[in-house]
Structure 1
Amino acid sequence: MYLVMADADTFAEFYRDTYRGLVAQLVAYTADLGEAQDVAQEVYVRAWSRWRRISTYDDPRAWVSRVGHNLVISRWRRARTALAGLTRHGPPPDTPEPDATTLDLVAALRRLPEPQRRALVLFHLGGFTVAEIARMEGAPDNTVKARLARGRQALAPMLTTEVTS
């Protein structure tokens, strides 16, 4: 049925012919229409990226059915693991809203060139050494040092604060 022509038209036809049945199958597994539709969307994205091969199968519908089932099981396992972690460790602590100073810093960092921003964040917030950053970035140590110096120099006027006593 979908054997020879592996193109957008055959995929669109396949999608139209099989979508409702796949969603019905997934609803039966998940008991949730929204989740079933999300899984179906992921299945068809995967099918489209492999359509040249899948379209040659004797029954491409069996492939999307199997992948859909596997995705549902995978989601169920992730949810079960997350629930076990939540039960074992409790909910994560509340994270306070960022204060005005943090928001100002983030806004200022966004105005820097990406290499300077990465160097500053990795060094000052990530706790990486210059040598570690150089390895991660594939740049010489002196380049990282220059990025840090230029980044600090550019940030300084953006972050001046009034000191009141």
Structure 2
Amino acid sequence: MRDTAEFDAFYSASVHRLLGHLYAMTGNRAEAEDAVAEAYARAWDRWATVRECDSPEAWVRRVAYRVAVSAWRRTVNRMRAHRREATGRHVDDVSVDHVAIVAALRRISAEQRRAVVLHHLAGLSVAEIAAEVGANENTVKTRLARGRRALAAHLTGPDHHGVDGRARS
């Protein structure tokens, strides 16, 4: 029998964090929201099994990431339209640093971005990331190192500009 209160508590405790992780991985809030919602719906359908996992949160994050990847494959044109729409929106209370980091994350490979987000935003260890993404620890370490190097280049390179268009030093 399903335990509604237990699932509701799990959802409330983890949804904002997972949404942040998926947003950082995908670079698109609407897609992240769709993927996270679908992942939680699947978790509810399988709650008896999911709640017994070592980390139900990792299960939901992994499913949400897979949902997002599947959506990308099916709807490349829709993704471009979402990006164009999202670029024109005014966002309150977003720092220049936040904008720069999101832009830099979009410029590195999906594997590197996923590793960086899981490690630095989700706080997972290399071993936990390896288990979640189905890669060995050395691969995760390589993705993290290359991802950090690529982010640094995008954040400090000559093509990095602030919101006002002037080159940053």
Range into which the TM-score falls when normalised by the shorter chain: 0.3 to 0.5
Query: Comparing both chains, which one has the higher relative contact order based on Cα–Cα distances under 8 Å and sequence gaps of 6 or more?
Result: 2
The normalised TM-score by structure 1 is 0.44
The normalised TM-score by structure 2 is 0.43
Which structure has the larger Rg? 1
